[in-house]
Amino acid sequence: MSAQVLSEQSSAVRAFVALVRSHAAVTRRLSVELTNDHGLTINDYEVLLRLARAPDRRMRRVDLAGEVLLTPSGITRLLDGLERAGFVERGTCESDRRVVYAVLTDAGLAKVREASATHVAQIDELFAARLDSRELARIADLMERLGDAAADDDCRPPE
Amino acid sequence: MSAQVLSEQSSAVRAFVALVRSHAAVTRRLSVELTNDHGLTINDYEVLLRLARAPDRRMRRVDLAGEVLLTPSGITRLLDGLERAGFVERGTCESDRRVVYAVLTDAGLAKVREASATHVAQIDELFAARLDSRELARIADLMERLGDAAADDDCRPPE
DNA sequence: CCACTACAATTGAGTACGCAAGTAAATCTA
DNA sequence: TAGATTTACTTGCGTACTCAATTGTAGTGG
């Protein structure tokens, strides 16, 4: 009868715990493969992928940070690594000399294609292990909305 | 026409990206509150909570690691912090002298109760921002299954 | 009873971040 | 057009982990 009150669980708490656990389990598995086979972290990969899809294969660092949800300093350090590896380069902006573009190199494009082959297959396999395609679409939708809610500043308390 | 192949997205990939993003967004928000108001990380809190619910408020470190999905060394370091703060103590095991129990102290129980008040409310608020209660139950269920799939060793390639 | 393997936990070294503070360029204000 | 604010980015420092190696204990087969 001591800690019993702590056992009451709202669906939100259940969902939160499941989010933390599933993230840990999924990323642990996938990042092992990505780092062993390709020398990339998950965020490295996400960044390369977004650059590959961006017009002119370039993006402002700030925008990149917003997409992968890293802080500006996190992006700086992540890109340091990708620069050292030769996968991205720095590009200056004519109209605003504060901004530094991250530009995907040919080597970077080759890398993300190479990594995609095994990585995407592994994601498919892992997610399909217990979820059918309808459930997959549903969970993707719900998690996107959850992420948007949490990333929005407007759900912050007023003060 | 260059990187176009990288734009094809399975539902699994969409779900994966949404998982990573929503996790980053949600944990960033919640951990700010937990660390500022209570000096705990999310994993600190999860560990204290599981100890509070465990019989005799004690658990083997290995089992704790399995529940919060940390490595053994991760648990050691996390518990170091909680010991220093006086929230857990070490307990020896009569029948197996390899194991060291993590035992929740009275101060630890008080702490987790205190933290729960605001933390649970914030989780509820954040998750309810864009998801109704049916959706919450659904996403919790789907994420639990996903986490189980990824934590299971039996979905590993044979070799 | 002794060697082997298996397991619980810890430790040293390394990494991927975050935060706070700083610089430099752009923009707004008076 | 000078000064103040905002924006883009970087840097120093701290932290929460991970992995690989190590110690000590338990079971197991000969």
Inside any domain, residue A156: no
Query: pLDDT digits over A131-142, tens only?
Result: 999 999 999 999
Residue B29 structural domain: 13-150
- Which residues of B fall within a CB distance of 8 Å from A158? none
Note the pLDDT of residue B139. 95
In the predicted structure, residue B2 carries a pLDDT above the cut 60: no
**What is the rounded distance in angstroms from the CA atom of residue B153 to the CA atom of residue B51?**
25
Quick one: how far is CA A110 from the chain centroid?
20
Inside any domain, residue B3: no
CATH number for position A42: 1.10.10.10
Inside any domain, residue B2: no
Inside any domain, residue B157: no
Inside any domain, residue A7: no
Q: What is the mean pLDDT of residues A83-89?
A: 96
**What is the rounded distance in angstroms from the CA atom of residue A75 to the CA atom of residue A62?**
8
Note the pLDDT of residue A4. 52
In the predicted structure, residue B66 carries a pLDDT above the cut 90: yes
Inside any domain, residue B5: no
In the predicted structure, residue A158 carries a pLDDT above the cut 70: no
Q: Considering only residues 40 to 69 of chain B, which have any Cβ-Cβ distance to chain A shorter than 8 Å?
A: 42, 46, 49, 52-53, 57, 68-69
Q: What is the mean pLDDT of residues A115-119?
A: 93
Asked if A26's CB is within 8 angstroms of B150's CB, the reply is yes
In the predicted structure, residue A78 carries a pLDDT above the cut 80: yes
> At residue A19, what is the residue type?
L
Q: What is the mean pLDDT of residues A86-104?
A: 95
Asked if A147's CB is within 8 angstroms of B25's CB, the reply is yes
Q: Considering only residues 16 to 35 of chain A, which have any Cβ-Cβ distance to chain B shorter than 8 Å?
A: 16-30
Note the pLDDT of residue B151. 81
Asked if A12's CB is within 8 angstroms of B123's CB, the reply is yes
Note the pLDDT of residue A10. 83
Q: What is the mean pLDDT of residues B32-38?
A: 93
Query: pLDDT digits over B78-137, tens only?
Result: 999 999 999 999 999 999 999 999 999 999 999 999 999 999 999 999 999 999 999 999
Domain count, chain B: 1
- In the sheet with B88-92, reading across from the earlier edge strand, the strands are B58-60, B100-104, B88-92
CA dihedral sign of residues A148, A23, B17, A39: positive
Inside any domain, residue A107: yes
Q: A83-94 burial by CB neighbour count: b if 16+ within 10 A, else e?
A: eeeebbbeeeee
